[in-house]
């Protein structure tokens, strides 16, 4: 039996386990990336593990999220990351160099290699045939120290692409179609591989848009073959030598197949407040809009912005619309500046932002009250834009630019003759904003600078013999990590300060939660299905840990968040019968008797609802390794123990 592309990479990197779906496998990690919002924690954890020098082939620390610098906190964090990176062998991409995923694809990614990043959109690297996965900071820290990265061996989904995109229809519309078909939980436990004749019609930046937003499917990752198109892209980046061909075997077996005829797709939008709430622009109709934001790691490539510039050239943004544009990298920005396209954007009235995440993570550009904002981003979760009642629609750059000109939802196909943009034969290559680490022999010369906002990792303790705690919060389905640990300009600067950031935990759902949880001392959170979807931020586990949450009991979990809970030593439980969700109310007293022994022996677990006098069977699917992590009180303690 042949292998799929992902299976080939997994096979080459397998450190433990077997490639049997649903079982735990440990992978050797070749490259890591961090960004600043999750990076400070990841490096504090790396320091705590105590390995002097990273053991990966390449580790890069990016600064792209917290660049507003409304106080000293962000700048202090940047210095911390810069110095800690220099000391321990990590390359440092300075603020201004661009969004981690865009820059990594351009300058560092290599087909066939494994990459984990402390950011859920790391699968962008799948656009050049990397096995690239989002992970919690602690998992990245362990991988930097040479440890394996553990995942559950995923199922393989093949998306067959046939035909060719029609004029004005974009790669963004392809992933919106996949989201429409599969939903935000349809990818959990799966790797999505793109195949078929349609693949070669898509350039690398287009493929990267698709694998990037595959994160919204809940998938482990998404991947394209590495072919002649990939070679051309790498050659244009001056890196042809890292290219290798990668394709699936003819007799590879997939668990699921989806067929998409590219020529049949139309411009679409993900409507508020979920990336899978997809409609065509035609169905939405010519509704008035207030804002357009172009950028983010999904759609900020040279190709995307050149198309936008061609649409806007010589025109003026509608007076009722504010248009902002953030290029994805310094390379893109600089090329637009040199070829005149930047002038076209400025001339049309676009508000040019620095190349960083910016409005995607609520760092500025919040829309007006109840404002309709069209964004080329990947997430439109409630409140993420910074305006609680903001109505965020996720669209392609073409739809965004066309609508910015008319002031209403506009199908770009009404613009007439298509713009023909091709990738340059040579990109502008200038890595002057990437700082090399110091040689190992000189590492003692580097002083790691820590600002007063940087507080240590919260205290963990081994799993208690029994847990008696009340339900401090009950929430519904599809809770995102933006609900659990909101971001935005006010809260992001506290990413290195768990006690302070914890005060914002779950405040989107219930402003009283942090105070109540702290008062209770110990508690349990109850939730619905796909709990913890979205970002990889381990703060969504560390803040509950700090607030005394001992267990989270839900109908089902999203992959990265479940791993983060385990890493933080919080017990992840699921209802054996989903209907039992209705048998616990917020405030109920719960008891998990002899839980330590039961976890240790793998015995059935029952939650006793003391208030209602009933017993509820629950599952806690742990492998030998995750069981030991939970017993130890989290991955940090477990790793320190194992390194002794």
Dihedral sign of CA atoms 324, 329, 333, 339 in order? negative
Pick 297 or 549: Cβ nearer ligand SF4: 297
Chosen from ligand SF4, ligand MIC, none, partner binding at 99 (C-beta under 5 to 8 Å by type): ligand SF4
Closest Cα partner for 194 from 107, 105, 134, 123? 123
By CB under 6 A, name the one of 29, 357, 595, 622 that touches ligand SF4.
357
Among 13, 28, 121, 384, binds ligand SF4 (CB under 6 A): 121
121 interacts with ligand MIC by CB under 6 A: yes
The span of 45-53, 114-122, 428-436, 567-575 binding ligand MIC (CB under 6 A) equals 114-122
Interaction between residue 297 and ligand SF4 (CB under 6 A): yes
Transcribe 369-404 into DSSP letters. TT-EEEESSS---TTTTS-TT-EEEE--HHHHHHHH
Q: What is the token pair recorded at 459?
A: 């205290």
Could you say which of ligand SF4, ligand MIC, none residue 536 binds, taking C-beta under 5 to 8 angstroms by partner kind?
ligand MIC
Question: 535, 556, 564, 626: which one contacts ligand MIC (CB under 6 A)?
Answer: 535
Whether 562 sits among the annotated catalytic residues: the reply is no
Interaction of residue 44 with ligand MIC, rule CB under 6 A: no
Least Å distance, CB 561 to ligand SF4, is 15
H helices within 485-617, ranges in order?
A: 498-501, 513-520, 539-546, 559-567, 595-601
Query: Which residues lie below 8 Å from residue 284, measured CB to CB, with a gap of 6+?
Result: 269, 271, 393, 409
The span from the CA of 226 to the CA of 618, in Å, is 43
Identified binder of ligand SF4 from the candidate list 6, 140, 210, 360, rule CB under 6 A:
360
Q: Please tell me the count of residues contacting ligand MIC according to CB under 6 A.
A: 12
Catalytic residue among 13, 30, 65, 536: 65
Stretch that binds ligand MIC, among 119-127, 196-204, 432-440, 632-640 (CB under 6 A): 119-127
Query: Which of 618, 572, 626, 575 is CA-nearest to residue 600?
Result: 626
Q: Does 609 bind ligand MIC (CB under 6 A)?
A: no
User: Using CB under 6 A, which of the segments 272-280, 357-365, 455-463, 595-603 binds ligand SF4?
Assistant: 357-365
Contacts of 465 (CB under 8 A, 6+ apart): 594, 595, 596, 597
Q: Which position among 361, 473, 525, 599 is part of the footprint of ligand SF4 (CB under 6 A)?
A: 361
Contact region for ligand SF4 (CB under 6 A) — 171-179, 354-362, 499-507, 613-621? 354-362
Partner touching 195 among ligand SF4, ligand MIC, none, CB below 5 to 8 Å by kind: none
Q: Between 225 and 532, whose beta carbon lies closer to ligand SF4?
A: 532
- Contact between 296 and ligand SF4 by CB under 6 A: the answer reads yes
Q: Which of 329/410 has CB closer to ligand SF4?
A: 329
Give CA angle at 180 (175, 181), nearest 5°. Answer: 95
Task: Give me the catalytic one of 13, 379, 413, 625.
Answer: 379
| 65: annotated active-site residue | yes
| Per-residue DSSP letter, 623 | -
In the annotation, is 470 catalytic?
Answer: no
Strands 149-152 and 131-134: unpaired
Work out which of 73, 76, 119, 173 binds ligand SF4, going by CB under 6 A: 119
CB within 8 A of 206, min separation 6: which ones?
A: 170, 171, 174, 303
296 in catalytic set = no
- Count other C-beta atoms under 10 Å from residue 445's C-beta: 10
Tell me the chain's radius of gyration from C-alpha atoms. 24
Quick one: which of 375, 474, 537, 555 contacts ligand MIC (CB under 6 A)? 537
SS3 sequence of 323-356: EEECCCEHHHHHHHHHHCHHHHHHHHCCEECCCC
Work out the number of other CB atoms within 10 angstroms of the CB of residue 574. Answer: 19
Q: How many residues bind ligand SF4 (CB under 6 A)?
A: 11
Angstrom distance (rounded) from CA 216 to CA 481 = 12
Determine which residue in the list 51, 99, 165, 547 makes contact with ligand SF4, applying CB under 6 A.
Answer: 99
- ∠ CA(382), CA(387), CA(389), 5° rounding? 60
Q: Which of 31, 32, 34, 38 binds ligand MIC (CB under 6 A)?
A: 38
- Window 463-492: residues binding ligand MIC (CB under 6 A): 487
**Of 158 and 172, CB closest to ligand SF4:** 172
The pair of structure tokens assigned to 625 is: 């390794």
- Give the one entry of ligand MIC, ligand SF4, none that residue 296 binds, where binding means its C-beta sits below a cut-off of 5 to 8 angstroms depending on kind: ligand SF4
Q: Which helix (H) or strand (E) element contains residue 482?
A: helix 481-484
140 binds ligand MIC (CB under 6 A): no
In this structure, are residues 551 and 134 in contact, taking their beta carbons and an 8 Å threshold?
no
Whose Cβ is closer to ligand SF4: residue 66's or residue 523's?
66
- With CB under 5 to 8 Å by kind, the binding choice for 537 among ligand SF4, ligand MIC, none is ligand MIC
DSSP letter (8 states) at residue 98? B
Beta bridge partners of 219: 188
64 lies in the site for ligand MIC, by CB under 6 A: no
Does 483 participate in catalysis according to the annotation?
no
Helices 36-49 and 137-144 cross at an angle (nearest 10°) of 50
Residue range at the interface with ligand MIC (CB under 6 A); choices 200-208, 498-506, 531-539, 599-607? 531-539
468: its two tokens: 């008696």
The H-or-E segment that residue 306 falls in is helix 302-312
Q: Please list every residue from 48 through 87 that binds ligand SF4, using CB under 6 A.
A: 65
Give 11's DSSP letter. H
Among 361, 402, 547, 632, binds ligand MIC (CB under 6 A): 361
Stretch (H or E) spanning 9 = helix 5-13
Report the site for ligand SF4 in 375-414 (rule: CB under 6 A).
Answer: 377-378
Selection from 99, 60, 63, 62 nearest residue 376 by Cα: 99
| Distance in Å from the first CA to the final CA of the chain | 42
Residue 119 touching ligand MIC (CB under 6 A): yes
Has 307 been annotated as catalytic? no
Active-site annotation, residues: 64-65, 119, 379, 535, 537
- Residues found near ligand SF4 in the complex (CB under 6 A): 65, 99, 119, 121, 296-297, 357, 360-361, 377-378
- Residues found near ligand MIC in the complex (CB under 6 A): 37-38, 65, 119-121, 134, 361, 487, 535-537
């Amino acid at each position: 039996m042949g292998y799929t592309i992902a299976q080939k990479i997994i096979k080459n990197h397998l450190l433990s386990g077997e490639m049997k779906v649903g079982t735990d496998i440990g992978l050797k990690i070749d490259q890591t990336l961090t960004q600043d919002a999750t990076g400070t924690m990841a490096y504090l954890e790396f320091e705590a593990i105590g390995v002097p020098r990273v053991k990966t082939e390449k580790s890069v620390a990016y600064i792209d999220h917290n660049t507003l610098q409304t106080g000293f906190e962000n700048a202090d964090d940047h210095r911390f990351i810069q110095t800690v990176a220099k000391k321990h062998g990590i390359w440092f991409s300075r603020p201004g160099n661009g969004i981690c995923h865009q820059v990594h694809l351009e300058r560092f990614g290599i087909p066939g290699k494994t990459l984990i990043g402390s950011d859920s959109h790391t699968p962008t690297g799948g656009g050049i045939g990397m096995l690239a996965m989002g992970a919690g900071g602690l998992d990245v820290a362990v991988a930097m120290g040479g440890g394996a990265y553990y995942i559950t061996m995923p199922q393989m989904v093949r998306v067959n692409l046939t035909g060719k995109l029609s004029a004005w229809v974009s790669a963004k519309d392809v992933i919106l179609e996949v989201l429409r078909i599969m939903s935000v939980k349809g990818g959990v436990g799966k790797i999505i591989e793109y195949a078929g004749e349609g693949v070669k019609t898509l350039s690398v930046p287009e493929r990267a848009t698709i694998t990037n937003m595959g994160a919204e499917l809940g998938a482990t990752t998404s991947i394209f073959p590495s072919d002649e198109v990939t070679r051309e892209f790498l050659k244009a980046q001056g890196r042809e030598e890292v290219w290798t061909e990668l394709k699936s075997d003819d007799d590879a077996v997939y668990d699921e197949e989806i067929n998409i005829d590219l020529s049949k797709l139309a411009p679409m939008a993900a409507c508020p407040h979920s990336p899978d709430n997809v409609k065509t622009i035609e169905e939405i109709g010519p509704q008035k809009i207030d804002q357009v934001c172009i950028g983010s790691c999904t759609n900020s490539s040279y190709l995307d912005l050149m198309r936008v510039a061609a649409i806007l050239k010589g025109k003026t943004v509608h007076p009722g619309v504010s248009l902002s544009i953030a290029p994805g990298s310094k390379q893109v920005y600089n090329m637009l500046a040199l070829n005149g396209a930047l002038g076209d954007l400025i001339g049309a009235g676009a508000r040019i932002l620095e190349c960083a995440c910016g409005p995607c993570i609520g760092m500025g550009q919040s829309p007006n009250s109840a404002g309709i904002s069209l964004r080329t981003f990947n997430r439109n979760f409630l409140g993420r834009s910074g305006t609680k009642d903001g109505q965020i629609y996720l669209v392609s750059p073409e739809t965004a630019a066309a609508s910015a000109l008319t002031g209403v939802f506009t199908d770009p196909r009404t613009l007439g003759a298509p713009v023909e943009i091709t990738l340059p034969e040579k990109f502008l290559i200038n890595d002057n904003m990437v700082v090399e680490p110091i040689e190992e022999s000189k590492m003692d010369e580097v002083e790691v600078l820590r600002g007063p906002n940087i507080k240590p990792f919260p205290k963990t303790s081994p799993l208690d013999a029994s847990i008696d705690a009340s339900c401090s919060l009950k929430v519904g389905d599809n809770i995102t990590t933006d609900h659990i640990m909101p971001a935005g300009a006010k809260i992001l600067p506290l990413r290195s300060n768990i006690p302070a950031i914890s005060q914002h935990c779950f405040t989107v759902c219930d402003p009283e939660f942090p105070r109540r949880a702290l008062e209770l001392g110990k508690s349990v959170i109850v939730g619905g299905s796909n709990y913890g979807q979205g970002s990889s931020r381990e703060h969504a586990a560390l803040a509950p840990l700090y607030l005394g949450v001992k267990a989270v009991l839900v109908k089902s979990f999203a992959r990265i968040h479940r791993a983060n809970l385990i890493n933080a030593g919080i017990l992840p439980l699921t209802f054996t019968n989903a209907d039992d969700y209705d048998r616990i109310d917020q405030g109920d007293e719960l008891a998990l008797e002899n839980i330590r022994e039961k976890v240790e022996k793998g015995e059935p677990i029952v939650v006793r609802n003391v208030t209602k006098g009933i017993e509820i069977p629950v599952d806690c699917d742990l492998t030998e390794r995750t069981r030991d992590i939970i017993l130890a009180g989290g991955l940090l303690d477990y790793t320190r123990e194992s390194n002794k």
